[in-house]
Structure 1
Amino acid sequence: MVTFLTALSGLAWTIVYLDSIRIGLKQRTYAMPLVALALNIGWEWIYGLHGLLDGLSLQGVVNVVWAVADAVIVYTYLRFGRRELPDFLSGTMFAAFSVLVFATGFLVQWMFVVEFDWHLASRYSAFLQNLLMSGLFVAMFAARRGVRGQTMTIAVAKWIGTLAPTIVFGAYEHSAFILTLGILCSAFDLVYIGLLWWARRQPAFAAAPTSVPADRLIGVD
């Protein structure tokens, strides 16, 4: 069962990344909230490389696949993210802000490794960033005033991809901390799924806005 849930999580998150790439390129935007993207790619490259050096495993292979896919999502952010910010911000400011955010993501993930061992760091950081991502997807929906750069496929696959390891690490391995974070992730994910379902039945609301709110500057999206 654990192997099945691990594979299910790997497949679901791979679907999240592939559909994020697809919708990002199609709608000329990026489909993952910026801060979550920075933490994600930091986690995947750190643990993907560690897995390759420490011996191949199913999760290690999955991490490498995710790292490569996430790099393409980063490309969509660098390619199209500038237009999400207010017009008065220069390209130089966008570049500097992007470097700061992604460097912070890598540093935070590495500090988990420094503070905990590899085993605990990978789990604690993964579920904490997942909870943040779940909230930021809801914030993305609100900030973009609709479903631009978002799909039901991403929302449902993200929910399943987080729920599966919640069962493994939270329920099977009896970690109250991870179980609580996983349940909270599911709560936000289901709210987000509900918002997308509602928006699909509200054509005027679901239409992509022509302007971008100024709160992009702080990485809400």
Structure 2
Amino acid sequence: MHPFLTALSGLAWTVVYVEAIRIGFRQKTYAMPMAALGLNFAWESIYAVDSLAAGVSLQGVINLIWALADVAIVYTFFAFGRAELPRFVTRTMFAAWGVLLFAASYAVQFLFMAEFEHPSRYSAFLQNLLMSGLFIAMLVSRRGLRGQSLTIAVAKWLGTLAPTILIGVLDHAPFILGLGLLCCVFDLVYVGLVVWARRNPDALRTGEGPAPA
């Protein structure tokens, strides 16, 4: 069961990244929220090296595939991300912000490694919970499905559900199980919102002003 769930998570998240790359280049945008992208790239590059340094393993190979896919998503962020921001944000400001964001993401991962016995688990699930909320926020802020798809939404849900069962249930880790269940709730909400937005493409573009008090 452990290899199956590990492989399922690896496949599902790989689908997320491949679809994010495809949409990013096709729509000239980035398809993963900025903070989530920074944390993901830092996590996957660090733990790909860490895992493979101890010998070839299924999770280590998966981490390496994810890290390589992330390089392309990071490129779409720096290539197209400036257009998603207000005009007063210059290209220099955007580049500096991006560098700071990724530097902070690496710092967070190293702090987890210094503090916790199983840092990869804790940081992965905490940033997955953050990501689940940020995808919902991205749909709302972009007022539609620009840079998003149902494939990403469903694969992202499955990609986190598999390790939630693996670590939270089979390995009896209640903290991970709790975080995983919260991710599942947010991910299913996001799936529902994507389905709704596909059926009502003009709904999010109406009412440009703030909601009434």
TM-score (norm 1): 0.91
What residue number does 2:70 align with? Answer: 70
Work out whether residues 52 and 60 of structure 1, in 8 Å CA contact, stay in contact via their aligned partners in 2.
yes
What residue number does 2:5 align with? Answer: 5
Deviations 1:58-77 (A, max 9, x none): 00000000000011100000
What residue number does 1:20 align with? Answer: 20
Equivalent residue in structure 1 for 2:183, among 163, 182, 185 = 185
Output the CA distance in 2 between the equivalents of 1:88 and 1:24: 23
What is the root-mean-square deviation in Å for CA atoms of aligned residues?
A: 1.3
Structure number with higher relative contact order (C-alpha < 8 Å, ≥ 6 residues apart): 1
3-state SS in 2 of match to 1:131 = helix
What residue number does 1:80 align with? Answer: 80
Deviations 1:17-37 (A, max 9, x none): 000000010000000000000
Output the CA distance in 1 between the equivalents of 2:52 and 2:17: 21
1:132 aligns with 2:136: no
Deviations 1:89-139 (A, max 9, x none): 11111111111101001110111111123xx10000000000000000000
Question: Identity of paired residues, percent?
Answer: 62
What residue number does 1:170 align with? Answer: 168
Output the CA distance in 2 between the equivalents of 1:14 and 1:54: 23
Deviations 1:155-188 (A, max 9, x none): 0000000000000000001111000000000000
Q: Structure 2: any 5+ residue segments left out of the alignment?
A: 209-213
Work out whether residues 144 and 201 of structure 2, in 8 Å CA contact, stay in contact via their aligned partners in 1.
no
AA partner of residue 35 (structure 1): A
What residue number does 1:216 align with? Answer: none
**Which segment is superposed worse, 128-137 or 87-96?**
87-96
AA partner of residue 64 (structure 1): L
Tell me the CA shift for residue 206 of structure 1.
6.3
Output the CA distance in 2 between the equivalents of 1:171 and 1:51: 23
3-state SS in 2 of match to 1:203 = coil
AA partner of residue 157 (structure 2): W
Output the CA distance in 1 between the equivalents of 2:108 and 2:44: 13
Q: Structure 1: any 5+ residue segments left out of the alignment?
A: 212-221
- Counterparts of residues 186-205 of structure 1 (less than 5 Å): 186-205=184-203
Work out whether residues 41 and 70 of structure 2, in 8 Å CA contact, stay in contact via their aligned partners in 1.
yes
What residue number does 1:218 align with? Answer: none
What residue number does 1:145 align with? Answer: 143
Deviations 1:172-205 (A, max 9, x none): 0111100000000000000000000001111223
